[in-house]
Amino acid sequence: MSAVTPEIKARVEELRREINYHNHQYYVLDNPTITDGQYDQLVQELLRLENAYPELVTPDSPTQRVGGEIQKGFTAVQHRVPMLSLSNAFSENDLREFDRRVRSNLPGEEVEYVLELKIDGLAISLWYEQGVFVRGATRGDGELGEDITANLRTIKAIPLRIKESIPFLEVRGEAYMPKESFVRLNEAREEAGEPLFANPRNAAAGSLRQLDPRVTASRNLSVFMYAIGHLEGANPGTHARLLGWLKDLGFRVNQHYKLCKDIEEVIRQIDKWQEQRFELPYAIDGLVIKVNSLDQQQRLGATLKSPRWAIAYKFPAEQAVSTIKDIIIRVGRTGVLTPTAILEPVQLAGTTVSKATLHNEDIIRQKDIRIGDQALVQKAGDIIPEVVLVFPERRTGQEKPFTMPSTCPECNAPVVRLPGEAAHRCTNKNCPAISREGIIHFVSRGAMDIMGLGESIVNQLIMAGLVQDPADLYDLKYEDLIKLDRMGARSSRNLLNAIAASKHNSLAQLLVALGIRHVGERAAKILARHFGSMSALMAATVEDLTVIPEIGPKIAESIVDYFARPENKTLIQRLDRAGVNMEEANQQAEPGQQPLAGKTFVITGTLEGFSRQEAQRAIEELGGKVSGSVSKKTDYVVVGENPGSKYDKAQQLGIPILNEQEFVALLKQ
């Protein structure tokens, strides 16, 4: 083994700084400044150097986020300061009573409150020594938690090194699963015949208590940090300043907090969030109200169970009573039969609900659900309608028990339930429902994303004998589409253009579209970056796949099994012949061959013809990169309406400035 030179050590440190910076930009600030491919090149270079010089590996290296070791269990962690739970308020009067208690203990003092969203997740504690993440734990019983450090390292919103070298800092917050990730996880588990998570909170908790950190890494968890358990050093003075300080250190802080001058201002915010919470990409189950002054917090103290300076306002449960008019069966793209309750329409969580999934036969039996029952319905995690319970005492004798069919309602093939699974499956791999659902998935958003090709058009194409699998879509002609219901000349041309455009989608999108079991968007991106082409991925063995930190044996075996099937090989060959892209974008052209290769852009102001993300994507597709700040290394600053200080700095540095028309002209060149 060759000796570590100063140049190698400096390069490793530079790579770590750069990767940590881009992790912060992407996972904390939601403002990526380089492409996925460029980020991956940095990580791969660092991995090569650390593998060649193991003595340079440090605990805070970004390569150490995903470990390959499966843990035997979780050890107990003693919290330096107890992680107390909050007392609850369920009404405005409860909040006023809380305010009265606070003020009675602080006679004559002004009291401000900070209002925060109550994230529906799992409370966590992060320990930092000299600015480096060293341990993470659950709340547990408040005194003792579980050490889940290895799993928390996989969450890229958690910094492994913060921006100040504080002797010791314990930060507390909430780990959660975004709504979209929760829906996709449960869809995958339902198709696999696995038990479903009841809500995003349970999904987050279950994901963090995995013995294999790679499973946690695949679950797309995130965090919001909101408190300090123990701090050696600075005192921010107020809770509002504390949140700003945590953000400056590099932590992800929820920005929907509000400083309120009194409890009445807090109460006025409740109705607002009662409605707006459904628009958030994560679940909240209430609001948290905290005394703003840290000095006042300390003097108010705590009971054995909860602090006296904070309270949680819990939203009323969004539930409604409806009648189960029928129970129907839907056959999914993997052949799983899913029972669905048809309901008398009710208003729930801001939408009209007329259906609710019943998941499987076991749940129907456990809840004794019958056709005709009065049922209590809610949205799990404010997302998926579900039947909570039925009211047997309201039965009239006309209700009918439900039994899962023994044959597929779509093709009459036998239905089986495999040992250890909750799902019933159609045994006919050529079942028309499986084909239909597979095509609907193929064209859906997040997959090939073919605009205008919805379920009704897919059904018509199948009924007309024009499409049997996704590859047939690329053989469609104008005269095929114009004959369909509600397909005029313009919509037919638009759909053909959308299908043609999908040929240029990324390899990751194609992998999602194929519907390989356990391969979602995140795994697809990782696979596309690692292998670079469909042919390389198809040739990969389980051993080749499991060397990728985020890909565990379960995903690897599923991928190998998929590509081993002759019908799947044939489908991919036909897609390839149709001109569908089979390579990762960064593999298709050398950087020097791309017109904007090596050019750095900064965008400021509002563009008329582009969103910020669309402009960034256009630049990256031509080999350029977008930065969040102007420096001497910036090549162009694109200026829209109402530009900010970046425009002024560009003028000071003499950097070329493009208006929107000039930017469009450059892209066309």
Annotated binding site for Zn(2+): 408, 411, 431
Please report, for the chain, how many H helices and E strands are present, in that order. Answer: 25, 24
539, 564 contact by CB (below 8 A): no
In single-letter form, the type of residue at position 360 comes to N
Q: With left for phi above 0 and alpha for psi between -120 and 50, is residue 385 left, alpha or beta?
A: beta
Tokens of 558: 């599923």
Residues, the chain:
669
362, 417 contact by CB (below 8 A): no
Determine the angle formed by the axes of helices 521-531 and 507-514, rounding to 10 degrees: 130
Comparing C-alpha atoms, which of 622, 623, 625 is closest to residue 603? 625
DSSP secondary structure letter of residue 406: S
State how far the Cα of 173 lies from the Cα of 307, in Å rounded to an integer: 16
Determine the angle formed by the axes of helices 507-514 and 566-577, rounding to 10 degrees: 140
The annotated binding site is made up of 36-40, 85-86, 116, 139, 174, 290, 314, 408, 411, 431
Give DSSP secondary structure letters for 51-109.
HH-GGG--TT-GGGSS--PPPS---EEE-SS--PPPPEE-SHHHHHHHHHHHHHHSTT-
State how far the Cα of 632 lies from the Cα of 627, in Å rounded to an integer: 12
State how far the Cα of 270 lies from the Cα of 473, in Å rounded to an integer: 49
109, 303 contact by CB (below 8 A): no
Comparing C-alpha atoms, which of 401, 403, 405 is closest to residue 426? 405
Comparing C-alpha atoms, which of 261, 317, 255 is closest to residue 285? 317
Active site residues: 118
Give Cα 530 to chain centroid, integer Å: 21
The annotated binding site for NAD(+) is made up of 36-40, 85-86, 116, 139, 174, 290, 314
Comparing C-alpha atoms, which of 426, 435, 374 is closest to residue 399? 374
Where does 477-520 have alpha helices with state H?
A: 478-481, 489-502, 507-514
625, 619 contact by CB (below 8 A): yes
Give DSSP secondary structure letters for 196-242.
PPSSHHHHHHHHHT-SSHHHHHTT--EEEEEEEEEESS---SBHHHH
In Å, how far are 600, 601, 660, 662 from 639, measured between CA atoms? Answer: 14, 11, 7, 10
- Residue 652's H or E segment, with its range, is helix 645-653
DSSP secondary structure letter of residue 506: -
Instruction: Please report where in the chains the tokens 């569908």 appear, as a residue.
Output: 580
Tokens of 176: 């959660």
CA 359, 365, 366, 369 torsion-angle sign = positive
